[in-house]
Structure 1
Amino acid sequence: MSHTLLLQNAKLFSPMHGLHDKVVEILVKNGLIEAVGEGLGMAASELIDCEGAYVSAGWLDAFGVCPDPGEPWKESLQSYADAAQQGGFVQVAALCGSAPKPDNESVIAQVLQVGSNLRAEILPIGYATIQGDAKEMSEVHEMHRAGAVAFTDGIRCSASVGLRYKIMQYTQSLSLNYLHFPYQKALAPDGKIHEGMVNASLGMKGIPSIAETVELLADIEIAKYLKTPLRVMGISCSESVSLIRAAKKEGLKIYAAVPVMNLLYTDEALLDFDENFKLLPPLRSENDRKSLLLGLLDGTLDAVVSNHHPEDIESKKVEFDYSAWGANTLAQVFPMMCKAFENETAENWLPLLYRGSRTFLGLPEHDIYVGAEASFTIFSIDGSYSAIEDQNKSKAYNLPSPNAILKGCVLGTIRKGCYMKNDD
């Protein structure tokens, strides 16, 4: 028996669609879009009133970390997916697993099997090196066949230039996606926050921008030599934006992603030693923050990622030097972006959530048209989101600004024709 679903009073957000910004009805039949139009007046087995809300193609988060399998008390695959759906994501690409680590096909297959049936679909990312230690290449081809969407060293280890060359050459030959986080730890072995006025005033060792740019420069030169696309994540400083802009002008296919926290906050958030703002890449200066925003608006940068790194209280609520890196961000990406881009129209930045992220991962574009899979995010730019711990579906302790009320809220998602309301 066929199942039909009708979205009514939906304000369509699809700048390339002729009905963009119009109030429409969307008919879904057996998981596919059957019709989009004004006043369709069709019957359906399930009605959804979207009064006052926008509907766009379903959002995708292109990078985050989940410690399950291994440490489900910090974040399980289910709680990760629940928090992602709460944040409006229908799919999330994530590096999942701490014990065992995702460096082999069995872990990838396990994550894919579990993650395909949750409130948001988890697309597994595999380690490009064994144990993610950046010393020896892992079984990349086997993991790809098992369902890995991309490969990375993660954010705490960076493979040597020689090993990166080998990885990029190998993944190019198989048309696979390697995501590199440009960070040379040797230039900041004890660094905790951005190197600038704040770290000097606090007497803390800093992480200079050159720790990022020296690795990015090497990546660009390797990609030019191999004539291969380059995908870099964790871009955080103005110098990197300039390097990427210049490389694109030269014709290099380079795709770059920015963590959402770096769009809204600067290193001044660390003046009171709040461990939930201890991040990699680090929060940098106001000039860096503005450069990232401009880079996203002018097309130099391609995507915004949650960079979700869940931790428990034992790992975070300790002396700042020993506190784990990362923040619980999945449910807050959209309201953070609403705040960061508050002086821009949504058409200038919201497609980053569904088009930019897919471009970054090399996935086919997805939008709202007849015959496409019914994958939607229902949201309000004028609504409000309250970052209260007991309302956040992530298990993680490390929630930044837990008492903040931000503009912008997600009302629900639809994936494969199934409606998930956010107060469920």
Structure 2
Amino acid sequence: MTKILIQSAQILDSASPFNGQTKSILIENGIITQIADQISIQTDLTIDQPNLKVSTGWVDMRVSAPDPGYEYRESLRSVREAAAVGGFTEIALLPNTQPIIQTKGSVSYLTHTGSNHAVKIHPIAAVTIDAHGKDLTEMMDLHQAGVIAFSDGHEPLQNSDMVLKVLQYMQPFGGLFINRPEDTLLTKFGTMNEGLPATMLGMKGMPRMAESMMIMRDLRILEYTGGKIHFTCISTAESVELIRQAKQKGLQVTCDIAAHQIAFTDGDLMEFDTNLKVNPPFRGQSDIDALWIGLADGTIDAIVSDHHPLDVEVKNLEFDLASFGIIGLETAFAVLNTHNTKLSSEQLIALLSKQPRHILGLPTISISENQPANLTLFDTDTEWTFTDKDIRSLSKNTPFIGKNFKGKVWGVINQGQAKLVRQNSEIRNSK
């Protein structure tokens, strides 16, 4: 039997009877067996870190790991390591692999490869065959095979009739449709947000209405069909307001933002750093302010990393030719905590843990005795500098190298295993 002791950690979990209290937590064979002020016992591993906080394990709803097909960008093993360093115990993988995740066999590959790791993978299957937006996949069979949600991932679903059919088809089994709102005809050849910086740089802009128009369309269809929809990676003030109004009407709509979206504006692209080329693009400060308000009032339900690993061959190019994408698993929490001025620590952590779990229909967990230990260990005060040594992804397409952060993840515990980050970012395993 493996025994792990967490010494003197503040518990942040609204479902726990110990919420807000500083306690020691004993874990035996993957189960929390004791929570008390002090615990003195011989263990296999003792975790004792100043100012330590512990929450239920974080869940990332939007991660790309193109394995199979592009394992040199990210493998299932490396994405798990990156997730652990970032504090995530569960991640939902986009279907944009080669071949596309749209068969029971491909789902089984994701769920069984490396399944004894502390980070659990949940497959998102394509909603249309090959993510081409034309013909529906066998969603009922895929749901029964263990798929957690349906989306074409990097490809926004453009066909209105297809959106209508998807929402109707999923209702009998309660499936979740995830769509990234973008009218791709309006953003064609665009490289950054449409605005003054794009004009000054001579770049074709991507207008905000390309996002808001698709949200308006999908909400109108949702009102007609019923069902539920999740908008991922919203980025504009108008999008926040549209979703706020839809929730007030009682529609079953949820949404998330990418963590990196609050760290930069389109004005930061003046040096043509292709690591800042993301989709949706970085917007203006007024949009960032609206995102924070949406997070604070509950309009925005969750935060994702939008982890999208890319190799130098598609990233180290002229800005207009480079691919969109950024890695984010290792930095999501640090970015959010560093820029946060509106949310309590408990509110921020709920956006990474409790609320994504609810949206995806995952089992409810809590930090209580006799419950499975699915935990993230972190603090909100440590100041540190992110370097390439902190990256566990196989790709390094990030603008955060050399950036100073406040708040650090110290490890995760899940499925009877601990993955801990030391001061020098070395990973230690415990089984």
TM-score w.r.t. length of structure 2: 0.94
Structure 1 CA distance for aligned equivalents of residues 148 and 96 of structure 2: 15
Residue in structure 2 matched with residue 164 of structure 1 by the alignment: 163
Q: Which amino acid aligns with 1:257?
A: D
- Could you say which residue in structure 2 is the equivalent of 1:79? 78
Separation (CA, whole Å) in 1 of partners of 2:416 and 2:24: 15
Equivalent position SS for 2:147 = coil
Cα distance in 2 for partners of 1:360, 1:155 equals 20
Q: Contact 2:168 / 2:226 at 8 angstroms: preserved in 1?
A: no
The alignment's C-alpha RMSD in Å is: 1.7
Question: Aligned equivalents of 1:110 and 1:93: distance in 2?
Answer: 14
- Once the 2 structures are TM-superposed, how far is the Cα of residue 343 of structure 1 from its aligned partner? 5.1
- 1:146 positional shift: 2.1
In structure 2, what is the Cα distance between the partners aligned to 1:74 and 1:369? 39
**Amino acid across the alignment from 1:185:** T
Map of 1:18-417 to 2, 5 A cutoff? 18-42=17-41, 44-96=43-95, 98-342=97-341, 344-417=343-416
Q: How high is the sequence identity, in percent, across the aligned residues?
A: 32
CA distance in 2, matches of 1:116, 1:172: 30
CA distance in 2, matches of 1:33, 1:335: 27
Q: CA deviation at 1:16?
A: 4.5
Distance 2:291 2:165 in 1: 30
Alignment check: 8 A CA contact 2:156 2:181 kept: no
Q: Retained in 2: the 8 A contact 1:135–1:159?
A: no
AA at the equivalent of 1:137: L
Looking at structure 1, the residues matched to 316 and 380 of structure 2 have their Cα atoms a distance apart, in angstroms, of 33
> Which stretch of structure 1 is more off in the superposition, 202-211 or 154-163?
154-163
Offset of residue 157 of structure 1 = 3.6
Which residue type is aligned with residue 193 of structure 1? M
Amino acid across the alignment from 1:309? H
**Structure 1 contact 276–398 (Cα < 8 Å) conserved:** yes
Query: Which range moved further: 288-297 or 377-386?
Result: 377-386
Secondary structure of 2:102 counterpart: coil
Which residue identity lines up with residue 35 of structure 1 in the other structure? Q
How far 1:363 sits from its partner (Å)? 2.4
CA contact (8 A) 1:230 1:255 kept: yes
| Distance in structure 2 (CA, Å) of the matches to 1:366 and 1:273 | 44
Go from structure 1 to structure 2 and tell me whether the alpha carbon gap of 1:83 and 1:93 turns closer, same or farther (over 3 Å shift).
same
Q: Deviation digits for residues 52-98 of structure 1, max 9, x if unmatched?
A: 21111111111111111111111111111110100011111111552
**In 2, distance between residues paired with 1:115 and 1:264?**
33
- Paired residues of 1:155 and 1:280 also in contact (CA < 8 A): no
Cα distance in 1 for residues equivalent to 2:419 and 2:377: 10
- The one-letter code of the counterpart of 1:395 is L
- Report the Cα distance in structure 1 between the residues aligned to 2:419 and 2:103, rounded to whole angstroms: 33
Task: Mark the runs of 5 or more structure 2 residues left unpaired by the alignment.
Answer: none
Q: Which moved more, 1:309-318 or 1:62-71?
A: 62-71
Distance 1:276 1:156 in 2: 20
- Contact 2:15/2:367 (8 A) holds in 1: no
> Structure 1 17/157 Cα, relative in aligned 2: closer, same or farther at 3 Å?
closer
Q: Distance in 1 between matches of 2:104 and 2:385?
A: 39
Q: Indicate conservation of the 8 Å contact 1:90/1:121, yes or no.
A: yes
Mapped partners of 2:152, 2:295: distance in 1: 24
Task: Answer yes or no: is the 8 Å Cα contact 1:411–1:421 preserved in 2.
Answer: yes
TM-score where L is the length of structure 1: 0.95
In structure 1, give the amino acid aligned to 2:417: C
- Contact 2:151-2:178 at 8 Å conserved across structures: yes
SS in 1 for 2:373: coil
Structure 1: gaps (5+ residues): none
Q: How many Å separate the matches in 2 of 1:359 and 1:279?
A: 27
